[in-house]
Amino acid sequence: SLLTNLKHNGINHAAMERKEKGQIDPLRKSQ
């Protein structure tokens, strides 16, 4: 149970990082 929670947290963290990169990259490209 604890292991699956850690896995889910890791997946959520990666998804959040991807979202942030997706928001930041277009700004960099337009500059």
Q: What is the pTM of this model?
A: 0.47
Residue 23 has pLDDT above 60, yes or no: yes
The arithmetic mean of pLDDT across residues 9-31, rounded, is: 77
Q: Sign (positive/negative) of CA torsion 21, 22, 24, 27?
A: positive
